[in-house]
Amino acid sequence: MPEAWWKSAVVYQIWPRSFADSNGDGVGDLPGVIGKLDYLRTLGVDAVWLSPFYRSPMDDMGYDISDYQDVDPVFGTLADIDELIAELHARDMKLMIDVVVNHTSDEHPWFIESRSAKDSPKRDWYWWRPSRPGMAPGEPGAEPTNWRAAFQGSAWEFDPATDEYYLHMFSRKQPDLNWENPEVRQAVYEMLRWWLDRGVDGFRMDVINLVSKFLPLVDGKPVPGTRFGDAWPQVSCGPRIHEFLHEMHLEVVAAQDRVLVTVGEMPGATLQDAQLFTDPVREEVDMIFQFEHVDLDHGPGGRYDPKALCLTDLKASLARWQTGLADRGWNSLYWDNHDQPRAVSRFGCDDPEYRVRSAKLLATVLHLHRGTPYVYQGEELGMTNYPWSSLDEFRDLDSLNYWAEAVGRGDDPGKVLAALRAQSRDNARTPMQWNGSENAGFTTGKPWIPVNPNCAEINAEAQLTDPTSVFTHYRRLIELRHEVAAVVHGDFTMRLDDDPHVYAFTREYADERLLVLANFDDHERSVELPDADEWTGAEVLISNYPDEPGRWTLRAWEATVLRRAPAPAVHEEPVPGQS
């Protein structure tokens, strides 16, 4: 097999609902995506990860699928997907689709059949349980376990048709599939092979570490402020997870004669888990999306209890993953996706004075790590969080459910809104800012979610031809990954571990060495490296200041990458008389 192409690739994530609307209905669609492929070619990315476009009631914006083998009419048709695959391949880009197989929609025919009767042939395709012993079905507190769903409330929904409950780790419209049943697994593998036959090049697997649960299902530790318990330790990376992923690899991936890419989204997975999941000899997945670094600004109350990020924690975390997967396995690298607030507002500074600089700094730091970088739509423009001012602007069910829960228990609505402003997933979901017109060039109709008013300043049209733009900086970073072997393969060493403001590391490959220096602060910071002398005269590979970088005195949000050129080859003079 040739070397895995995804090791030197940069992947671009498209969340189709907010990318580009071709028909004026206010919702992004597949023809809209196809119309922007030259933009992606200009950026230089190698592959697209396309978030769900399948038939769906859209309770969770497409992560609740009612037909895995069709396109939702709001996004287009199967013919559009075929065209997208062909147009991507014509531009030498790959397509990774998002597969959501921990759960289906409650409107999927499998679930409709399953819920119809206790003796339905598909009953066991989902997790059905009677009420708690001694309690009447449907009575509050009679749920089979005390588990809380990721989107608040109980993880069990009572179904009066058969007087039993079904499990849903996310919304009640997302019942969990029972992977213990081999028929379920075979149905999933068959569906994935069908997509490979259509030409897709790989899969991003939604919450795939939840498909093996610890049995029996038992109560979790109480979650403060709720009447529920924590389900996570019982459903995450259960005893059969490696077996299931290996089986999926054999049934779906190994049979192909081309190199595919698989990435498992795995909230709660540890580095030790990742070392197993991504070890190539185990044949499970190529890489995982881990959450450790994006959970560092969560307080004791979780996502909606945000606290300031401590840079030394971030450095320690990412360095552990770099080192931990250095010999076996592979990292995925990301700041942003459709579930996270915008990185520049969260880890950088979205104040106009430092927005561009800090967006470039974050990009530089991430793209110089070892692993496969993921760019989320709009990140390459330095798009920011939205200035939310009232609840009616939000669309995400997680945000709306959190509001209902928190305000319902008496939390101050102002405080709840502030938490959503910082942490809502809708920050990532406002429309892509193509130009400075009223709807940012996203739609000619009424956008399904508000457009960020800063599209007048932050938009693709203005940045494409500007050599100082965030877009141009990303483009150059992507080029570096393709041109400089040390960026892809180099060993990673964290430097200045305890410095609270400066993120510094080296990459080393053969005789090529890179030094990355980044100041996460609006004040000048100086750095002292014991081997500073060795970098005298080193080439500046990329920097976010236009003039000669400060080197050992870093200005506000300055990021620089230095390259020590390989030592010139020594040519030995042939000794006369010897051949």
The continuous run of DSSP H or E covering 263 comes out as: strand 261-265
**Interface with ligand TEU, residue 207, by CB under 6 A:** yes
Closest separation between CB of residue 351 and ligand TEU, Å?
Answer: 27
Q: Is 339 in the site for ligand TEU (CB under 6 A)?
A: yes
If the CB atoms of residues 207 and 274 are measured against ligand TEU, the closer one turns out to be: 207
Shortest spacing between CB 479 and ligand TEU, in angstroms: 29
Strand pairing class (156-159; 164-167):
antiparallel
Tokens standing for 380?
A: 């390459």
Whole-number Cα distances in Å, 348 to 10, 294, 332, 371, 543: 21, 13, 20, 22, 16
Three-state DSSP at 247 gives helix
Amino acid at 539: E
Q: Is residue 292 part of the contact set for ligand TEU (CB under 6 A)?
A: no
d(CA 260, CA 4): 8
CB of 91 to ligand TEU, least distance (A): 26
Kindly tell me which of 22 and 377 has the beta carbon lying closer to ligand TEU: 377
Minimum CB separation of residue 464 from ligand TEU in Å reads 29
| Residue 507: strand pairing partners | 492, 514
Binding test (CB under 6 A) with ligand TEU, winner from 137, 267, 324, 436: 267
Residue 540: count of CB within 10 angstroms of its CB: 13
CB of 318 to ligand TEU, least distance (A): 18
> What's the closest the beta carbon of residue 523 comes to ligand TEU, in angstroms?
33
Please, what's the b/e burial string for 439-457 (b: 16 or more CB within 10 A of its CB; e: otherwise)? bbbbbeeebbbbbbebbee
Determine, following the binding rule CB under 6 A, whether residue 149 of this chain makes contact with ligand TEU: no
* Beta carbon nearer to ligand TEU, 397 or 432: 397
Does residue number 356 form part of the binding site for ligand TEU (CB under 6 A)? Answer: no
**Which residues touch 572 (CB under 8 Å, ≥6 apart)?**
none
Q: 46, 6, 36: which is closest to 479 by C-alpha?
A: 46
Checking DSSP bridges between strand 372-376 and strand 512-519, what pairing results, if any? Answer: unpaired
As a whole number of angstroms, the distance between CA 476 and CA 118 comes to 59
User: Given candidates 21, 292, 336, 398, which one binds ligand TEU under the rule CB under 6 A?
Assistant: 398
- Cα–Cα distance, 217 to 3 (Å, whole number): 42
State yes or no: residue 60 binds ligand TEU (CB under 6 A): yes
Q: Which of 350, 321, 316 is nearest to 333 (CA)?
A: 321
Nearer CB in complex with ligand TEU: 291/509: 291
Of residues 399 through 438, those in contact with ligand TEU by CB under 6 A are 425
Nearer to ligand TEU, 386 or 557 (CB): 386
Q: Does the annotation count 107 as an active-site position?
A: no
In whole angstroms, the minimum distance from the beta carbon of 30 to ligand TEU comes to 19
Radius of gyration of the chain (CA): 25
User: At how many degrees (to 10) do helices 397-408 and 413-423 cross?
Assistant: 160
Tell which one of 19, 53, 63, 277 touches ligand TEU (CB under 6 A).
Answer: 63
CA gap 312, 365 in Å, rounded:
14
Active-site option among 206, 247, 273, 558 = 206
User: Is 141 or 233 the residue whose CB approaches ligand TEU more closely?
Assistant: 233
H helices present in 289-396, as ranges: 311-324, 343-346, 355-367
CB closer to ligand TEU, 95 vs 514:
95
CA nearest neighbour of 451 among 436, 461, 464: 436
Residue 508: strand pairing partners: 491, 513
Helix, strand, coil fractions of the chain, as percent rounded to 5:
35, 20, 50
206 has catalytic annotation: yes
3-class DSSP assignment, residue 456: helix
Asked if residue 170 binds ligand TEU (CB under 6 A), the reply is yes
Residue 100 makes contact with ligand TEU by CB under 6 A? yes
Residue 521 is a binding residue for ligand TEU (CB under 6 A)? no
CB of 275 to ligand TEU, least distance (A): 21
In whole angstroms, the minimum distance from the beta carbon of 325 to ligand TEU comes to 21
d(CA 344, CA 349): 6
From first CA to last CA, the distance across the chain in angstroms is 40
Helices (H), 26-94: 30-34, 37-43, 78-90
Q: How far is the CB of 272 from ligand TEU (least distance, A)?
A: 19
Contact by Cβ (8 Å): 269, 284: no
Decide whether 63 or 125 has the Cβ nearer to ligand TEU. 63
Quick check: 303 binds ligand TEU (CB under 6 A)? yes
User: Looking at beta carbons only, is 337 or 452 nearer to ligand TEU?
Assistant: 337
Closer residue to ligand TEU in complex, CB, 205/542: 205
| Contacts by residues 309-314 (CB-CB < 8 Å, ≥ 24 positions apart) | 309/346, 309/347, 310/500, 311/499, 311/500, 311/501, 311/503, 311/520, 312/497, 312/498, 312/499, 312/500, 314/347, 314/503
| Given 143, 164, 265, 350, the catalytic residue | 265
Residue in 80, 206, 292, 405 binding ligand TEU, rule: CB under 6 A: 206
Query: Which residues are known to be catalytic?
Result: 206, 265
The residues of the shown chain that bind ligand TEU, judged by CB under 6 A, are 60, 63, 100, 150, 170, 206-207, 265, 267, 303, 338-339, 398, 425
